[in-house]
A and B are shown apart, each in its own frame.
Chain A
Amino acid sequence: MHSDLIDISKQPEFQRLAHKRRQLRVIMTGLMLFVFGAYTICWAYFPSVLNLQVPTNSAVTVGIWFTVVVVVLAILLSAYYALIAGNQLDELNNQLRELVAHDD
């Protein structure tokens, strides 16, 4: 069992899958944390930016808009990861699993 798994890890198909998923994870997590990090930093150090009104004199501030942007971005990134990119990687994974099953 153990050595089988090590063999799989050397397969080019596996390496491609692992590489692609890693790349996707880094980009997606990075994007989310970048935006949320910017939000936190604005909140902590530049409250005056968040207190600007958009549109002017409307009582709706940048802080409120930014919160909505974080929420919507979270949903969009998750949708892309779970449904679009994720399904492509599932495909790769299934091919790999078939390959492994045939080898047995």
Chain B
Amino acid sequence: MNITAIVIFVAFVLTTLAITYWAALRTRTTEEFYTAGGGIPAWQNGVAISGDFLSAATLLGITGVIYSLGADGLILIAATLGAWPVVLFLIAERLRNLGKYTFIDAISFRLSASKIRPMAAVASLFVLVFYLIAQLVGAGKLIQLLFGLDYVFAVITVSSLMMIYVTFGGMLAATWVQFIKAIMLVVGGSIIALLLLFHFDFDVGRIFVSAVDTHPSGQRIVEVGGWLKDPLSVVSVSMTLLFGFIGLPHILMRLFTVKDASAARKSAFYAISIIGYFQLLIILIGFGAISLIMSNDMYHDAAGKLIGGGNMVVLHVTHFLGGDLLLGFIAAVTFATILAVVSGLTISAAATIAHDLYAGTFAKREVSEKKKMQVSKLAVVGTGLVAIILGIVFEHQNVVFVSNLAMAIAASANAPVLIMAMYWRGLTTRGAMAGILVGLFSSVLLILVGPQVMVDLMGMEKALFPYTYPTIVSVPLAFLSIWYFSFSDKSESAAREKLAFNAQFVISETGIGATKAIKH
């Protein structure tokens, strides 16, 4: 047990609970609940977006991948940074102008909402719930390791805090939690990197030389080709991350919390800068870890295995460089990170359930504001309970494939239809529905018959589908079905939908009409 970690973490929880109380007083309407009334400044929202992305998986996971695979892990970093500007250039402004609470608003803008919403909502919930499971299971194990708490107790604690933040404080509280955590994370990462550079006399080259000298694979650690053997696997990893980021509902939702398209664009830029800066630190920390930790007996058990496994690399290197004090700080930040990310996922799931499914689809009449809020809060509690149950069920499962599943569905079912809805005049309701269905089913199916399930889980020799990431097939398939089923749609409603693109185009480019609809 690390006293610093506990003190910092308790301080974080108390501060965020105080903020939740403050936010609760300012959260009365659904608009305030889901978008903080559109009143978050662009820079603050940018920090929060970066926080949503910089989850424990990024901090601990990518460092772990570099630690074990070396330069091969860098493709994850390049793909992330390659994807984000595309979100900024193509999606951010139009999404803000066309949508209200969720990206599904933008998809169904000129299409038949009663048909599109339920289907898109289901695909979106798949992404959010899988992501939530992956985060929670990882969190439970990490907390077990860091604080010595029981796994089930850890999962329940994290979920309960998340339910309190979101039920009472809505998006305003979730944004502040994310904002504070992101700042702590960036400060923590910078301190580790500085100490690391100091250790190597500020000679970056020496970090890499020392890593090569330490790692049993030697020179191969700075070379590529050890992890992804065949070219198409590389392409499929790139495609998963590129399209996956375009389709992550909880991150897209953040673009609605600022006042207009211009602010949405700026917040995306701030997010990219912070994420990019942090990823550069991760490169240093990852290779630094190899040279400092790999041959150090203190961080290995009697059998020579790294204590706590690959996820603990960052924490070990922190301890090596900064002792118990810095370790405590980073451990607390990690815990805060998990809390903040699951809160962001939960509010997005609640918006999908209450706004897209309940108010947008199943309610027969116009839903009153009060009723909508009740349903929203119920949805938060429901999501929290589902998360606890699944978190416990999945305790002993390999969750890597669960989070890959989330990214693959986001890339195949959400991203293609969102891009086409914004940019292709010819899209019709039929085409959009076909795209979502094909994207969802092909990505899930190909993961089920792929190596992660058939070889890793079921122990078969060879999988039916050779690639870990199904996107190389499922994304083009989704685009193709969107095109074919729209193109061949000769119905009257299809003609109307194509015509309605003109009006949508003006609103999405200028925000005329859009701002009025959102600011009452």
Binding site for B on A (CB under 8 A): 1-2, 5-6, 8-9, 14, 17-18, 21, 24-25, 28-29, 32-33, 35-36, 39-40, 43-45, 47, 50-51, 53, 58-61, 63-64, 66-68, 70-72, 74-75, 77-79, 81-83, 86-87, 90, 93, 96-97, 100
- Contact between chains at A68 and B510 (CB < 8 Å): no
- Contact between chains at A74 and B81 (CB < 8 Å): yes
- Contact between chains at B78 and A14 (CB < 8 Å): no
Binding site for A on B (CB under 8 A): 71, 74-75, 77-79, 81-82, 84-86, 88-90, 204-205, 208-209, 211-212, 219, 222-225, 228, 231-232, 234-235, 238, 242, 262, 265-266, 268-269, 272-273, 276-277, 279-280, 283, 502-503, 505-507, 509-513
Contacts of B81 in A (CB 8 A): 70-71, 74-75
- Contact between chains at A64 and B211 (CB < 8 Å): no
- Contact between chains at A32 and B86 (CB < 8 Å): yes
- Contact between chains at B222 and A64 (CB < 8 Å): yes
Q: A43-B224, A58-B208 are in contact. List 8 more A-B contacts (CB 8 A).
A: A8-B512, A33-B86, A39-B82, A68-B283, A74-B85, A75-B277, A82-B269, A90-B262
- Contact between chains at A68 and B503 (CB < 8 Å): no
Q: What does DSSP make chain B's interface, helix, strand, loop or mixed?
A: helix
- Contact between chains at A32 and B269 (CB < 8 Å): no
Contacts of A1 in B (CB 8 A): 513
CB distance from B468 to the nearest CB of A (A): 15
How distant is the Cα of A60 from the Cα of B85 in the complex, in angstroms? 27
Q: Which of A24, A25, A33, A71 contacts B77 (CB 8 A)?
A: A71
Q: Which of A18, A32, A39, A82 contacts B265 (CB 8 A)?
A: A82
- Contact between chains at A81 and B89 (CB < 8 Å): yes
Contacts of A66 in B (CB 8 A): 78
How distant is the Cα of A90 from the Cα of B78 in the complex, in angstroms? 30
Given the known interface contacts A68-B283, A71-B276, the answer about A28 and B85 at a Cβ–Cβ threshold of 8 Å is yes
How distant is the Cα of A17 from the Cα of B242 in the complex, in angstroms? 28
- The count of A-to-B residue pairs whose CB atoms sit within 8 angstroms is 168
- Contact between chains at B269 and A61 (CB < 8 Å): no
Contacts of A78 in B (CB 8 A): 84-85, 88, 268-269, 272-273
Contacts of A93 in B (CB 8 A): 509-511
How distant is the Cα of A21 from the Cα of B223 in the complex, in angstroms? 40
How distant is the Cα of A71 from the Cα of B280 in the complex, in angstroms? 8
Contacts of B79 in A (CB 8 A): 36, 40
Of chain B, the residue at the smallest CB distance from A9 is B506
Contacts of B505 in A (CB 8 A): 9, 18
Contacts of A72 in B (CB 8 A): 276
- Contact between chains at A60 and B224 (CB < 8 Å): no
- Contact between chains at B269 and A83 (CB < 8 Å): yes
Most buried by A among B503, B505, B506, B511: B506
- Contact between chains at A63 and B512 (CB < 8 Å): no
- Contact between chains at A51 and B82 (CB < 8 Å): no
Given the known interface contacts A58-B209, A59-B222, the answer about A43 and B266 at a Cβ–Cβ threshold of 8 Å is no
Contacts of A25 in B (CB 8 A): 89-90
Q: Which of A64, A79, A87, A97 contacts B273 (CB 8 A)?
A: A79
